[in-house]
C-alpha cells in the first residue's frame, strides 16, 4: 500500500510488544505517528516476522520418502537434497521457491535470511522467485554465489578445511556478510566458527555456556531453529538449543525454520513450538521472531519512523474475542486465528 492511510486496532507496540489501542498513521510505507485511542475496531496488529534461517530451495524435496537419516539427506555435497537440487531444472526450482515465498507471506513473514546453494545461478533463481513479492530477503550464497548475494553462507567451518579463512576474507573484502552453521550436533566446531567473526551463527544447539558467553561478548546473533533440531534428532528437550541460557547470558537470539524439505517456514508454528517447549514470555518469543530483520537493515517493530511491516488479525472472528492477552494468543495459536493479511508497507 502506498500513499497515506490509518490503521486502527489493538497493536503490539515497541520492543516490549505492549498491547495498546492505537491509530497507526502510515505515509509512504513509514509509521509516522502512533496515536492512542479509547475505542478501536476488533483488529489486532502485530509486527510481521523475520525468518532468520531458511533453505527454501529444499522445497523441491518437500516431505520426500527417503531411506537414511534426515541429517544425511541434507549433508553437502552429496546428500539427497543436494543431488535433487543439482538435477532440478531452473524453472521448476523457481516455481517451488515462489510457492514457499507465498507460504511465508500467507503466514505473516515479511523477510527471511536464506542459505542458497547452487552458486551464482542459484542466487539468480532465488531473486527471480522473489520478484514482486515485496519480501526483505537476505541471501547467503556459496560456491561463488556470494559475489551476487548479500553474504557468504558456510555449511560448516570444517567443510572447506584450511580454505575457510580465505573464503571469509574474500567475502569480507567484497563487503559481504558471513553466516555459518555451528554447534548443531556437538560443540566442537563452535569456537572455530566464532573466530571467523561472522554476522550470524546458525543453531548453536550444543554450544557450551562458555561458548555462549563468547558469542554474546562478540555480539553475534544466533539463529535457532528448534523444530528442525527436533526433527533431525539433535534435540529432545529445552536444553537443546539452550534458548533460556542464551537469553540469560545475553545472546541476541533470532528464530528460523531451517530446511523447507522437512519444516514448513511458518513462524506462527515455530513460535508456538517455542512457547510450549520453553515456556518463555510472549514478548520474548515475538522479539526472537522479529529481531532477525536487523540482518536486512530493518526493524519490524511497531514504532514511529519504522517501516510498516504488520500482520493484522480479525479480532471478532472465531474465539479471538475471548483472548485476555493478544500477544500470548499470537504466539500460541496464530495459525487458527483469522489473518486479515500481511501489510508490508
Ligand atoms: Zn541450515
Residues 16 and 61 in one domain: no
- The mean pLDDT value of the chain amounts to 94
Distances (CA, A) of 189 to 36, 120, 185, 221: 50, 27, 9, 17
Domain of 121, CATH number, reads: 3.20.20.140
- Look at residue 1 and tell me whether its pLDDT is greater than 70: no
- Cα 134 to middle of ligand 1, angstroms: 23
Same domain membership, residue 178 and residue 97: yes
- The CATH number assigned to the domain holding 32 equals 2.30.40.10
Who surrounds ion ligand 1 at CB < 5 A?
258
| Rg of the Cα atoms in the chain | 20
**For residue range 121-173, what is the model confidence (pLDDT) as tens digits?**
999 999 999 998 999 999 999 999 999 999 999 999 988 888 899 999 999 99
Q: How far is the CA of 199 from the centre of ligand 1 (A)?
A: 15
User: Among 295, 290, 204, 294, which Cα is nearest to 251's?
Assistant: 204
**How far away, in angstroms, is 319 Cα from ligand 1 center?**
36
6 three-class SS: strand
Give distance in angstroms: CA of 328 to centre of ligand 1. Answer: 28
296, 114 contact by CB (below 8 A): no
pLDDT digits (tens, 9 = 90+) for 72-109: 888 888 888 888 889 999 999 999 999 999 999 999 99
**Looking at the chain, how many residues does it have?**
345
- 119-123 long-range CB contacts below 8 Å, 24 or more apart? 119/143, 119/144, 119/145, 120/144, 120/145, 120/147, 120/148, 121/90, 121/145, 122/57, 122/85, 123/148, 123/149
What's the gap in Å between 39 CA and the centre of ligand 1? 45
Number of folded domains in the chain?
2
Grade residue 345 by pLDDT with cuts at 50, 70 and 90: low
* Residue ranges making up the domain that contains 67: 49-296
Q: Are residues 215 and 71 in the same domain?
A: yes
| Cis upstream peptide for 241 (omega within 30°) | yes
Contacts with 217 (C-beta within 8 Å, 6 or more apart), sequence order: none
Amino acid at each position: 500500500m502506498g500513499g497515506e492511510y490509518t490503521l486502527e486496532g489493538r497493536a503490539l507496540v515497541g520492543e516490549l510488544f505492549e498491547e495498546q489501542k492505537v491509530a497507526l498513521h502510515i505515509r509512504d510505507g513509514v509509521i509516522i505517528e502512533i496515536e492512542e485511542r479509547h475505542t478501536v475496531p476488533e483488529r489486532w496488529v502485530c509486527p510481521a516476522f523475520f525468518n532468520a534461517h531458511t533453505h527454501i530451495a529444499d522445497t523441491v524435496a518437500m516431505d520426500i520418502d527417503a531411506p537414511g537419516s534426515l541429517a544425511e539427506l541434507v549433508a553437502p555435497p552429496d546428500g539427497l537434497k543436494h543431488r535433487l537440487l543439482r538435477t532440478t531444472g531452473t524453472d521448476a526450482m523457481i516455481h517451488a521457491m515462489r510457492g514457499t515465498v507465498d507460504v511465508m507471506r500467507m503466514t505473516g513473514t515479511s523477510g527471511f535470511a536464506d542459505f542458497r546453494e547452487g552458486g551464482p545461478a542459484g542466487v539468480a533463481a532465488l531473486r527471480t522467485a522473489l520478484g514482486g513479492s515485496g519480501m526483505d530477503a537476505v541471501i547467503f550464497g556459496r560456491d561463488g554465489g556470494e559475489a551476487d548475494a548479500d553474504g557468504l553462507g558456510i555449511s560448516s567451518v570444517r567443510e572447506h578445511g584450511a580454505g575457510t579463512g580465505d573464503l571469509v576474507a574474500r567475502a569480507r573484502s567484497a563487503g559481504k556478510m558471513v553466516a555459518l552453521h555451528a554447534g548443531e550436533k556437538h560443540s566442537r566446531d563452535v569456537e572455530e566458527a566464532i573466530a571467523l567473526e561472522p554476522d550470524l551463527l546458525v543453531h548453536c544447539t550444543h554450544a557450551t555456556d562458555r561458548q555462549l558467553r563468547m558469542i554474546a561478548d562478540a555480539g553475534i546473533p544466533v539463529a535457532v531453529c528448534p523444530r528442525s533440531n527436533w526433527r533431525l534428532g539433535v534435540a529432545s528437550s529445552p536444553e537443546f538449543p539452550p534458548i533460556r541460557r542464551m537469553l540469560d547470558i545475553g545472546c541476541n537470539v533470532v528464530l528460523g525454520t531451517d530446511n523447507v524439505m522437512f519444516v514448513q517456514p511458518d513462524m506462527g508454528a515455530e513460535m508456538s513450538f517455542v512457547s510450549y517447549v520453553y515456556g518463555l514470555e510472549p514478548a520474548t518469543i515475538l522479539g526472537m521472531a522479529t529481531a532477525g530483520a536487523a540482518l536486512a537493515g530493518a526493524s519490524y517493530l511497531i514504532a514511529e519512523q519504522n517501516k510498516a511491516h504488520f500482520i493484522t488479525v480479525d479480532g471478532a472472528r472465531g474465539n479471538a474475542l475471548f483472548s485476555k492477552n493478544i500477544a500470548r494468543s499470537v504466539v500460541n495459536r496464530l495459525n487458527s486465528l483469522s489473518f486479515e493479511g500481511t501489510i508490508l508497507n
